Structure 1
Amino acid sequence: MTKEISLKIKSKFTNKFKSGYPLIFKDALLNSEVLKEEGSIVKLFDERNHFIGKGYYGKQNKGYGWVLTQKESEKIDQVFFEKKLHFALKHRAHLYEDAETTAFRVFNGEGDGIGGFTIDYFDGYYLINWYSEGIYQFKESVITSLENLVSFKAIYEKKRFDTKGQYMEDDDFVMGERAEFPLLVKENGAVFAVYLNDGAMVGVFLDQREVRRTIRDQYAAGKTVLNTFSYTGAFSVFAALGGAKKTTSVDLANRSLSKTIEQFRVNDIDYEAQDIIVEDVFKYFKYAVRKQLKFEMVILDPPSFARSKKHTFSAAKDYKNLLKEAIAITEDHGVIVASTNCSTFDMKKFKGFIEAAFKEMNGKYEVLEQFSLPEDFKTIKEFKEGNYLKVVFIKKIKG
């Protein structure tokens, strides 16, 4: 790990990096051909050979690595990692004291100073997500830092750079005492069953914590709720706990049925009183129109990109049309919760999709409130793409 590679930055991008932009991307490099071994330390220089920053080479879908420091003499070693983790944990200290929430993020990549990995906490268990082979070369430094800073039941990991997406049984276990799964954790008093050893996902997306609570506490009571792209039914659980008249969860994945039933069960909710449907969401929209079904709340939280046999969905291109489908089956004065984790556009553009969708449907609407990432998903202003979550509560007004 001592080998350092010099990277030359094109003049039109030097100010971007000098102002603190952390992602090393190919178009900014004059000599990307020198990058060979992931995990190599890289030093960035401008075309006049002035030092800009230091980081590491690691390919992920976002780029070629991350700048970690603008101090040329600073070493990127175990001490460096421990310092960053210590500061991140200090920032979340109050979250550990909340008995009602026992699952949250403790390290959020570039938001906490080291892009390429995240660490989540699940009631004494830590889960590290690695997003490139490059950052994985620093595994020992991260694990040692965690051992020095926290007490834990066990540490698990997920290699998210494994393009095959296949995991051997128990392959995600690193150290400690193996958990018994499902592991039951709390979020604002509700319960989630999570699996740290079962594929890329654990069963719940922690970044929607405040949105789920808001649905439960302010919007769900007495409502018929449609939860599309429902995954394991987390929004449906919170809607039911908030007194929803009935929830309908729709997702294409076969396992969404058993996973959603499980989440209802661990919260003592009668899942048979709810509708859980395994079907293409777009097909379900057409069915709902045909049967003249309408809902008082519709939750839209699609993946940024998805492909089924008949549909390809891209949030950047298709979200407006998705909204139009939702508007058509939302009752007058009903609420649409529009959410996206797509990082290629900002909240302003997202609201533009909402405006265009209602205009094309000859409808009127009111924005009730909006959300971005919660406090534990720390971001930096120099990397706006890191603040990817956009959620808008929209009231459909009778025209």
Structure 2
Amino acid sequence: MEIGPVYDASINADATLTCFQLVTPDIPSLTKLDLNFAGFRQGEVHDVSLVRVDADGSTHAIASDASGDTYRIMQGMTGPLTRWLVMVGRPAKGPTSSFQMQATVAEGSDRYEPNDAIVKATPIQGNKVFEGNLDSAADVDNYLISFRADQKVAVIQIEAPVGVVIDVLDGSNTPYTLRGGDRKRVDASRPVFVAVRGDDAPDAARSKVSVTDPRAIAVLSSYSSKENISHLAPGTMPGVAGAANVARQMEVEVTAFEGDHTTRLGAGHEVTIFARDTGKNNENWLVGSVKVVTDANGTARATLPISGCKGGELGPIQVIPRVEYPDAWFITYNPFAVVHAWVDSSDPNAQAEPLNKPQLFQHICKETVTKRWRSR
């Protein structure tokens, strides 16, 4: 059989099996092979199998469906110039069993294929970000998302062009229809089903589904400065040399966790890192922020730009001069500046715990000498 045409086929009255073969085209990219069957008599059991034949002659059963359904879809991922066997059988001989079938290929399929059929939905474990593309007008990408036993709510965010529709059935069996830009809290007490389909969507329309625990947090793993700061601030305690001094940029690493504060979020989650000057009366002034995206280990790193001081300054205080600058040297600084981070799609109140941990740094405002002045 060829790729594309619709064939009228049958199992003869004196037979229990019929077989067809095809060869996929010479397409170098990842390609999905679709076999569509229609017209089986209602209630008659037919066993449909898709078998790949490798170059060495070995055979590999890729998909099968034994049921009484009148319509079937079989799928497999294929390389170029690959031979396939399509077998349709029944338990016993009987009247001629007629049906129709068609083979098509879709170039550029995503790594979650084949998942067009509900029973072939791609399993997703936990709060993940996953991307796919609709490789044809008939393509549907199905996913089944499972969560930790103690997670009862999830947030689903969608990035998709006009014409892409996302059907969601949450853990309470409540259905939702989402489109690009939508954000929805759903019941996660049981697995959540997600189907991405086209509704007059453009060819090869890509979509991104972000699933997050609304209690997720981001914790500072490390933060420091590589700046060559001439004089360190004296610290917040008398006689203690300043540490974590920062003037205009900070090297930051954060780790993001799910709501149990133990399970790490996976790749693709957006986190925002903030730096603030603080005052004695609980004032705070934003002096820097940067957005980062987690890797597979839930970690993200960035250089955080820091502005000049905006409040809470101490000084100027005199510090010990350097040999090459023998004149009196003064600095102003904020000893109670703070750096923190949160997962963008998480609830704001979920971030309280990491904010309570010591994440102070000393923000150097400026350095001056009696005969020359320099600002950091």
- The two structures have a TM-score, normalised by structure 1, of 0.26
Larger relative helix fraction: 1
Larger relative strand fraction: 2
Query: Radius of gyration: which is bigger?
Result: 2
- The two structures have a TM-score, normalised by structure 2, of 0.27
